[in-house]
Amino acid sequence: MLRKRFIGSAIASAGLAALPAAARAAGPATLSAAQRAPIEESVAKAMAAAGARGASVTVARAGEIVYANGFGVRDLGAKLPVDAETIFPIGSITKQFTAAAIMLLVRDRRVDLDAKAALYVPLAPHGTDYTVRQLMQQTTGLANYTAVPGFLTTVAESATITPEGLVALVASAPLAFAPGTRFAYSNTNYVVLGMIVEAAAGVPYGRFIGERIAAPLGLSHLTFGAPHGVANVTRGYEPSTGGTAVTPWTPQSTYAAGGLYASPADLVRWDEGFFGGRLLDAPAVRLLTTPPQLPGGGATSYAMGWIRESLDGYPLVWHNGGVIGANTRNAYFPDQRISVVVFANTAGFDETRIVREAFRSQVPPTEAQLAAERERDTKPAAGEDPAITAAVRAEYERWRAGKVDFARYDATMRAALNEGTVQQVAAGLAPLGAPTAFVYSGKAALPNNGGTAYTYRVVTPAATVSLVYSLDPAGKINGIWFKPAE
């Protein structure tokens, strides 16, 4: 469910073939062999790096699928393949649907974006301090319930945990900052939003999604939790369990932050319906996909269930999802009306290069763009401080080795970090190999005298990692963020 994102568990798997199931592909495979080859090569590399057993890639333009393919297996024991229609848990892509549900209720005049959360959910932690809008933008400062000690062992597999029980996990934790002043990804925000949906609509969250979103848009396989009586659903695998399928997180434990399942075609229809105005009008879509301007010049790419960035100079809005046994991404390029949907049945799978190659199969980059990309990965920005770079390199190596000294972090970070998080990140970084380049990208002052954030591109044999490392005025680390680089 995290998009912050600490790179999830990923261990290289020797000899794992990522062979395209071309004969099983659904929809018109209209890409040429030359267009398909970079996509399929990137899938093979991503599967090998993560030890993934199965994956699928779907590319659509203006709602028409031009490429749909399955790779590997969805059930190792039964030797059942992933095909282009295989259903996966979509994790935090669920947040796109939760945000849309809130906007439907705003349109119904049942929810006010600028009302305090406590108006709808009196039990929401610190619910009188932040608004519905701030929940959607992840700017509340609420602690992340999936990061609390014991979540994986006592909550993630629970079929009886309630939304009230989820928010109770962090009820005693203070807000990390004044609401509206900073961005911090927290699944708790979207649990509270799901509770608001239920309170305002008077029906369960899953039923609201089904009746108000899935049915009108024809999302025939979108369900809250795994669909019943459907055979073509993937099992999840992690390198640590080998050939044994993992026990999936329950929809009760992930709820409105990550409890939905879908097929790739569902997300293609969702993208086309959402951006085409079939569910919400253009101002609502624009609001949901536009990041806020934070006080003091602070920046965030997170809007409301969508992240806005760019690729090759073109706007890109997306979200990914990661739960045990699955990693997913829904990426949409509004200028070209291109959707790229990538699913895999291992949490540590990195879909970044696949999205890039899929987009470029439709919109080839110019030589100038390719040259700029090569320079970005080799030439540091102006103003680099060698001492800071050396410190960042050393900290990256501590995370890669799983030996992090919490004393280097400020009080808020120390409260958020635990050994489980460290080992999860280490399991994702270690298989990438030692960095071959550590390129300084720039720095930015944090708002409210919060210190300085430094950004680097860490180039490894397996992938490029975007690393953000921030120091408070006292020299303590008050933020560290690893994510696959675009």
Q: Is the pLDDT of residue 16 over 70?
A: no
Residue ranges with strand state E in 277-361: 307-311, 314-323, 326-333, 338-344
Q: In the prediction, which pLDDT does 379 show?
A: 87
Cα separation, 208 vs 198, in Å, equals 8
Can you tell me the mean pLDDT for 358-379?
88
Residue with tokens 């949409």: 332
In a domain, 322, yes or no: no
Reported as a single tens digit per residue, the pLDDT across 135-174 is 999 999 999 999 898 898 999 999 999 999 999 999 999 9
- Read off the pLDDT band of 482 (50, 70, 90): confident
Q: At what angle do helices 187-201 and 94-107 cross, to 10 degrees?
A: 40
Can you tell me the mean pLDDT for 290-306?
91
Can you tell me the mean pLDDT for 315-341?
97
4-36 burial string, b = 16+ CB within 10 Å, else e?
Answer: bbbbbbbbebeebebebbeeebbbebebeeebb
Q: In the prediction, which pLDDT does 179 show?
A: 97
Reported as a single tens digit per residue, the pLDDT across 36-57 is 999 999 999 999 988 999 999 9
In a domain, 435, yes or no: yes
Are 481 and 458 in contact by the 8 Å Cβ rule? The answer is no
Can you tell me the mean pLDDT for 3-21?
29
In a domain, 361, yes or no: no
Enclosing H/E stretch for 454:
strand 452-459
In a domain, 450, yes or no: yes
Can you tell me the mean pLDDT for 267-284?
98
Can you tell me the mean pLDDT for 119-133?
98
- Read off the pLDDT band of 433 (50, 70, 90): confident
Q: What is the CATH number of the domain that holds 411?
A: 3.10.450.590
Can you tell me the mean pLDDT for 280-295?
96
In a domain, 8, yes or no: no
In a domain, 455, yes or no: yes
Reported as a single tens digit per residue, the pLDDT across 182-230 is 899 999 999 999 999 999 999 999 999 999 999 999 999 999 999 999 9
Q: Is the pLDDT of residue 18 over 60?
A: no
In a domain, 220, yes or no: no
Domain count, the chain: 1
Secondary structure (DSSP) of 275-297: HTTSSS-HHHHHHHTSPPPPGGG
Residue 25 has, within 13 A of its CA and on its CB side, a CA count of 21
Q: pLDDT above 90 covers what percent of the chain?
A: 75
- Read off the pLDDT band of 428 (50, 70, 90): confident
In a domain, 181, yes or no: no
Q: In the prediction, which pLDDT does 9 show?
A: 25
Q: Which of residues 1 and 447 earns the better pLDDT score?
A: 447
Residue 402 belongs to domain spanning:
376-484
Instruction: Report pTM.
Output: 0.84
User: 302: which DSSP letter?
Assistant: B
